[in-house]
Amino acid sequence: MSFSLASLAVIAALASGLLPLLRPRSNRVIKVISFPLLGLAGLSGVLGGGMTLLQGVRYQLELPVGLPWLHSQLYLDPLSGFFLLVVGLVTLVAAVYGPAYVREYEQGPQPLFPLTLFTGLFVAGMDLVLLAADAFSFMISWELMSVASYFLVAYQHQHEVNRRSAFIYLLMAQVGGLFILLGFGVLARFGGSFDFSVMSQAVLPDGWATVAFVLAFIGFGMKAGVVPLHVWLPQAHPVAPSHISALLSGVMLKVAVYGFIRFTYQMLGGIHWQWGALVLFVGSASAVLGVLYALMQHDLKRLLAYHSVENIGIIYIGLGLSMIFAGTGHQALAALGLIAALYHCLNHALFKSLLFFGAGAILQQTHEHDLERMGGLIRRLPVTATCFLIGCISISALPPFNGFVSEWLTFQTALQGTVLNNHILAALIPVAAAVLALTGALAAACFVKVFGVCFLGMPRSEGCAVAREISLGPQVGQILLALLCLLFGVLPTWTVAQLETIARLFFPAGMPETTAHGWLWLTPVAPEVASYGAPLVLLGICLAWALAWLWLHPRRRRTPVRISPAWDCGFGPLNARMQYTATAFSMPIRRIFRPVWPISESYQEPGKEEHGGRYRLQIGDWAWSKLYEPIARLVLGAANRLTIIQGGNIRTYLAYSFFTLLLLLLVVSL
Amino acid sequence: MFLAQLPLAEQMVLTLAALILFTSFLLLVQNRIISLIHTFAWQGVLLFAATCLMALSSGRYHLFISAAMTLSLKVYFIPWQLRRLVEKLDIRREVETVGSSSLIMIGGGALVLFSYYVVSPIRELSLLATRNTIAVSLAVILVGMLMIITRRKAIAQVVGFMSMENGLFFSAVVATYGMPMVVELGVAFDVLVAAILFGIFFFQIRAGIGSLNVDHLNRLHETDL
Amino acid sequence: MNGWLLALLQTGLVVFTAPFLAGWVKWVKCRLQARQGPPAWQPYRNLLRLFSKEVVVAESASPIFRIAPYVVFSVTALACSVVPLVAVGLPTATLADVIVLVGFFALGRFFLALAGMDVGTAFGGMGSSREMTIASLVEPAMLMGVFTLAMTVHSTNLATMIGYLLASPFQLYPSFVFAAMGMMLVAVAETGRIPVDNPATHLELTMVHEAMILEYSGRHLALMEWAAMLKLMIYGVLLVNLFIPWGVAVDFAPLSLLLGLLAISGKLLLLGSALAFAETGLAKMRLFRVPQYLSLAFILCLLGMLSHVILEMN
């Protein structure tokens, strides 16, 4: 049953992309056909994946297509079911959100059908990656996913910036895919076949196992967006349409994490703790650098893209801890770390897509993408503002919402580091946890900035002063995601119990004590060690709020609230320019952490006619100038050297053929 | 619990070891020269207390003599000498801002972890219950060296050198109940002479290049690049 | 049921005696400055006065402005129920561990900062910006301190921590010495006392917490100020009960509860006097010296963790 639902998801996604091609010119037909089918694809993904996860079953299917000696294998187990659920959920919300959003593109210079065509192919590609059970189908689906998303990123190709960002995205996706292919190649050499189940049985010598791991880590890491392989993320996610950005950020990155988990935990077999230490280090670096770069952005979608880098870092911290414990023989703690990482995958998909959908609503209604030109939108877009607030609270990892639970579980996993025999490692794990704490606090600072500058205060531009709330479809989508954020924050025990099914695939003993005390309490390791009663926390907050409100209610009647102008020091009415801007808000952090960014700051004195000077602040990304530009220069330099071969002289070319012939004759005669 | 098996005196030695390490960290980032000297004196006091406790708990009363020497030299004489030097050189009011002090302190933390890693095979050889403090004393030595590298004023570098010697002395006391008397007296007199000679050198340096900022000594290079 | 009733009583005790602690600190400070000073129960009179005053809300304020005081107060009041004031083993102690407690304060701070940005004045934005910057530097230090403690007692549950320390024979933990020093620095930064923030200033450029609540009046201001006093009390209770736990009741017998009450009162009064001494002796640092102060706190906690790994683990 769940397998047929999963197949339905793939077929519906393909249909949503391909069927509108029958009448590509009619926008109404396109929207009527493709979005409901996309919604169906999302819904069946949710149901199929959910059922697989809840029942803990596995399915296998062999399709007659594929290479002659290797037919395409499909496999659905709780791990792929979980990720299928995540993909389906965001796809469903995107389908609800889409129709009102793409109205804006109908007036644009490019036609609508490429958008729906490639969205369908993209979702189908992601679902197939999750179902693939042999390297060939995996790579085909991976390429389908990458290329379809390239066309989506390049949808508004009339802008030079978009074309360049899409090109970098495609380039890095291809390079990453190459690394993944090489990783599969190493495994296949020792396993004898490209089938995943055969590769899992392969026994690799230590050195080759590390080589395979490093190749897969780089390949999947490039797609997931870990530092320093993240540079395509902040370029590609802002230029895509917003519901596509939500899909890219919310689910495509998780598909990369899925690939990494499948490769390392299932196919490589024995995990070495050194790999876990590498993953932990890279995860911590991604988390803190991602959030620091995000703090300095004032383009809303680019800021959200950098936050995806940060959250992928947090997921990798959980995975790294899990791998360290697995490598040193602590299976239950490894299961806990894996559960924390998977929970964060789910949470990030929910709140990041919520934030991107909100950003899309703002973009559509105000036509502004720069934070410095927004303000006061809470009165103009109240529903969007409330849902966006819930997204901000969730991503800042604050109780009682979902982001807090996964970070809490990660902290609890890190705390168990004292069981390790290697004391150096036991001393470094708390440092990684402190980095995680720094990241969480900086993320909260960033989202206070975002919400405060964007929604609160007074409007800083004309577009924001007259914006109206977005139509019903997007509102429903956002409300749904916000409710899910609250739900997964208040029912962590049930969620962890389901995720434990996945952890049992790799660590048969699981981590049963976490959920052993009923649905109210989350108790990793043991109740004396730590406990969190999420529903009671929510109840407590509401109770205290109600008590305070009730006590003060009689006074409210006696002394009603008086509205009056804000205090202005006697200088006269305040205007929107006097508020704190986003750049000003993050200035102390910019000064404290200055070496992290390449900053160029300049101030020009006012001229004769002007009142104020001009201030210019430009913040870049060190990865470009330190890593990618030298590589690009190297490649171009080598290419320039090689052009000597192409001299242009006909006789030289003939001489090449002649000498090659001589060489081959010599080789044959030896 | 491991700590519970130790008598109270040895638990206090562990605490004092940690506090000595903390004073080394403080020395890394102190701005004012007088407070630098005072912190160094406090490090000597902690060292004195630790030596007395080791003498009490182990019954080796010759450690009391070492403690007395530490007190007289490291807590009174050398700081007094350095303060006199500061008054004569008239640099009392100078403040040296240590750039990126957070990074330097984190580097110190990494050095502590590194010394623990280096010392772990040696730990097994000592029979003392306080053998864990060998890592701490090596860390004090390394942090003293870090201080010499990162600071620019010559006085601060002298204090760094002295704190390295503190670390050596501490490691001898906690790992092997002190050094043979001859070695200890020799080292103590070397340090004393060094402190006096530094004073003479500082006057010469200042007369030569006009300041005590060792970065200005860069002028003494061979080539003109 | 007895446990829940006791927990409710304890929460009420924390909530209603927090203003006294703030008043006590202020009284000692005034005495040290050779002034007569207001009596220690003055904060109660301030709160009562504010509750009956009119509330004035700016035109540009949004609903966030009006709900923020309630959120901040209720979250801090919930945190009061988790800290062990008089007894450990209460059912509310299992609701949250230390990390969740930190999360509660973070939630309160989030809404406080949003309220600062809400009206659209420069003071509020400045206060929010500074508060979030300081908070982001405090979190790693605080977490490292918590970890140092948790590595020794193998738990982050407050009741388990105190119970473990009370049950084991007296030992001198170097890691605890460092963690205590670090946590004291962290507590000063989190509760907004000198040298990080001046709770009695009138100058906008020296404010952090005051700048964010500048626009509030009447009962909203009362709730915000009360929440700040609650936070001071909670940090005080955590510091004294985690590092000097003797006197905390481990069962619910009336005698041990009375003893626990006396012990915590004595400890808090002493801590309040120590805080008053520190505030009188130190000057407020400029904002860009605070990172150095907080990195000192982080290094102390880091040294505590390293001391545990090097000196105490076997």
Rounded to whole angstroms, how far apart are CA atoms C186 and C196?
10
Q: Establish if B170 touches chain C: CB-CB under 8 angstroms.
A: no
CA distance, residue A415 to nearest chain C CA (Å): 7
Write out pLDDT tens, residues A529-542.
Answer: 888 888 889 999 99
Residues linked to residue C249 through DSSP beta bridges, in sequence order: C87
Report the predicted TM-score, pTM, of the whole model to 2 decimal places: 0.92
Is the separation of the CB atoms in A39 and A67 below 8 Å? no
* pLDDT on residue A62: 83
* pLDDT on residue A524: 82
Query: Does residue A325 carry a pLDDT above 80?
Result: yes
With CA atoms as reference, report the closest residue to A44 among A4, A97, A95, A90.
A4
Contacts of B22 in chain C (CB under 8 A): 178, 300, 303
Amino acid identity of A128? L
Regarding predicted confidence, which is higher, A200 or A429? A429
Contacts of A424 in chain B (CB under 8 A): 113, 116-117
For residues C88-109, average pLDDT: 89
For residues A147-176, average pLDDT: 92
Write out pLDDT tens, residues A280-320.
Answer: 999 999 999 999 999 999 899 999 999 999 999 999 999 99
With CA atoms as reference, report the closest residue to A93 among A392, A350, A303.
A350
Rounded to whole angstroms, how far apart are CA atoms A277 and A424?
11
Residue C304's H or E segment, with its range, is helix C290-307
For residues B74-103, average pLDDT: 80
For residues A110-138, average pLDDT: 91
Rounded to whole angstroms, how far apart are CA atoms C205 and C122?
11
Q: φ and ψ at C53, to 5 degrees?
A: -90, 165
Query: Does residue B1 carry a pLDDT above 50?
Result: no
In the three-class reduction of DSSP (H, G, I as helix; E, B as strand; rest coil), residue C289 is classed as helix
Instruction: Using alpha carbons, list the distances in angstroms from residue C239 to A437, A558, B185, C85, C256.
Output: 20, 42, 45, 11, 21
Query: Does residue B178 carry a pLDDT above 80?
Result: no
* pLDDT on residue A276: 94
Strand extents, DSSP E, A200-290: none
The conformational region for residue A320 under phi > 0 = left, psi -120 to 50 = alpha, else beta, is alpha
Rounded to whole angstroms, how far apart are CA atoms B118 and B100?
27
The residue assigned the tokens 């005080």 is C236
Residue A617's H or E segment, with its range, is strand A614-619
DSSP code per residue over B109-143: HHHHHHHHHHHHHHHTT--SGGGGHHHHHHHHHHH
Q: How many residue pairs from chains A and C have C-beta atoms closer than 8 A?
A: 265
Residue A437's pLDDT band (boundaries 50, 70, 90)? very high
Rounded to whole angstroms, how far apart are CA atoms A31 and C283?
66
Write out pLDDT tens, residues C267-287.
Answer: 999 999 999 999 999 888 888
Q: φ and ψ at B213, to 5 degrees?
A: -85, 115
With CA atoms as reference, report the closest residue to B135 among C307, C184, A625, A550.
C307
Q: Is B84 exposed, middle or buried (0-12, 13-18, 19+ CB in 10 A)?
A: exposed
In the three-class reduction of DSSP (H, G, I as helix; E, B as strand; rest coil), residue C56 is classed as strand
Rounded to whole angstroms, how far apart are CA atoms B66 and B64?
5
Is the separation of the CB atoms in C313 and B28 below 8 Å? no
CB atoms C306 and B116 under 8 Å: yes
ipTM of the complex: 0.95
Q: How many residue pairs from chains B and C have C-beta atoms closer than 8 A?
A: 72
Strand extents, DSSP E, chain C: 56-58
Residue B129's pLDDT band (boundaries 50, 70, 90)? low
Contacts of C100 in chain A (CB under 8 A): 399, 404, 408, 532, 537
CA distance, residue A110 to nearest chain B CA (Å): 52
* pLDDT on residue B94: 67
* pLDDT on residue B98: 66
Write out the residues of chain C at the interface with chain B, using a CB-CB cutoff of 8 A.
168-169, 171-175, 177-178, 291-292, 295-296, 299-300, 302-303, 306-307, 309-314
The conformational region for residue A397 under phi > 0 = left, psi -120 to 50 = alpha, else beta, is left
Contacts of B113 in chain A (CB under 8 A): 424, 427-428
Rounded to whole angstroms, how far apart are CA atoms B167 and B172?
9
* pLDDT on residue A24: 77
Which of residues 37 through 76 in chain B touch C, CB cutoff 8 A?
A: none
CA distance, residue B196 to nearest chain C CA (Å): 33
CB atoms A441 and C135 under 8 Å: yes
Rounded to whole angstroms, how far apart are CA atoms C227 and B208?
62
* pLDDT on residue C202: 75
- Average pLDDT for chain A: 90
Which residue in chain C is spatially nearest to A591 when comparing CA positions?
C288
Amino acid identity of C110? F
Contacts of C59 in chain A (CB under 8 A): 563-566
Is the separation of the CB atoms in C144 and C182 below 8 Å? yes
CB atoms B112 and C310 under 8 Å: yes
The alpha-carbon radius of gyration of chain A (Å, integer) is 27
Which one of B2, B106, B136 has the shortest CB-CB distance to C312?
Answer: B2
Residues linked to residue A76 through DSSP beta bridges, in sequence order: A59
Rounded to whole angstroms, how far apart are CA atoms A53 and A561?
52
Write out pLDDT tens, residues C188-198.
Answer: 999 999 898 88
Q: φ and ψ at A134, to 5 degrees?
A: -145, 155
Q: Establish if C167 touches chain A: CB-CB under 8 angstroms.
A: no
Q: How many CB atoms lie within 10 A of CB A55?
A: 13
In the three-class reduction of DSSP (H, G, I as helix; E, B as strand; rest coil), residue A562 is classed as strand
Which one of C177, C295, C300 has the shortest CB-CB distance to B102?
Answer: C295
Contacts of A435 in chain B (CB under 8 A): none
Q: Establish if A425 touches chain C: CB-CB under 8 angstroms.
A: no
- Average pLDDT for chain B: 82
Query: Does residue C164 carry a pLDDT above 90?
Result: no
Which one of B1, B102, B132 has the shortest CB-CB distance to C292?
Answer: B102
The residue assigned the tokens 């904002």 is C287
Rounded to whole angstroms, how far apart are CA atoms A639 and A637?
5
Write out pLDDT tens, residues A573-618.
Answer: 788 888 889 999 999 999 999 889 999 989 988 888 888 888 889 8
The conformational region for residue C282 under phi > 0 = left, psi -120 to 50 = alpha, else beta, is beta
Query: Does residue A434 carry a pLDDT above 70?
Result: yes
Rounded to whole angstroms, how far apart are CA atoms A175 and A181?
10
* pLDDT on residue A453: 94
- Average pLDDT for chain C: 90
CB atoms B109 and C299 under 8 Å: yes
Residue C313's pLDDT band (boundaries 50, 70, 90)? confident
Contacts of B11 in chain C (CB under 8 A): 171-172
Structure tokens, B62: 């010759």
Write out pLDDT tens, residues A192-208.
Answer: 888 888 888 888 888 88
Is the separation of the CB atoms in C305 and C221 below 8 Å? no
Is the separation of the CB atoms in A308 and A297 below 8 Å? no
* pLDDT on residue A610: 80
Q: How many CB atoms lie within 10 A of CB C297?
A: 26
Q: Establish if B95 touches chain C: CB-CB under 8 angstroms.
A: no
CA angle A349, A353, A358 (to 5 degrees): 155
Residue B224's pLDDT band (boundaries 50, 70, 90)? low
DSSP code per residue over A28-69: HHHHHHHHHHHHHHHHHHHHHHHHHHHHT--EEEEEEEEETT
Query: Does residue B93 carry a pLDDT above 80?
Result: no
The whole-angstrom distance between residue C164's C-alpha and the CA centroid of its chain comes to 23
CA distance, residue C31 to nearest chain A CA (Å): 34
Contacts of A576 in chain C (CB under 8 A): 120
The upper half-sphere exposure of residue A457, i.e. CA atoms within 13 Å in the direction of its Cβ, equals 36
In the three-class reduction of DSSP (H, G, I as helix; E, B as strand; rest coil), residue A564 is classed as strand
Rounded to whole angstroms, how far apart are CA atoms A130 and A128?
5
* pLDDT on residue B5: 64
Is the separation of the CB atoms in A335 and A424 below 8 Å? no
Percent share of chain A, pLDDT over 70: 100
* pLDDT on residue A85: 94
Contacts of A545 in chain C (CB under 8 A): 70-71, 73-74
Q: φ and ψ at A288, to 5 degrees?
A: -75, -35
The whole-angstrom distance between residue C313's C-alpha and the CA centroid of its chain comes to 31
* pLDDT on residue A559: 73
Q: How many residue pairs from chains A and B have C-beta atoms closer than 8 A?
A: 8
Whether the upstream peptide bond of residue C195 has omega within 30° of 0, thus cis, is yes
Q: Which of B139-143, C5-9, C89-93 has the lowest mean pLDDT?
A: C89-93
Rounded to whole angstroms, how far apart are CA atoms C68 and C221?
11
Query: Does residue B225 carry a pLDDT above 60?
Result: no
CB atoms A589 and C103 under 8 Å: no
Q: Is B177 exposed, middle or buried (0-12, 13-18, 19+ CB in 10 A)?
A: middle
CA angle A5, A11, A16 (to 5 degrees): 120
The whole-angstrom distance between residue C71's C-alpha and the CA centroid of its chain comes to 17
Rounded to whole angstroms, how far apart are CA atoms B183 and A327?
48
Q: φ and ψ at A368, to 5 degrees?
A: -120, 140
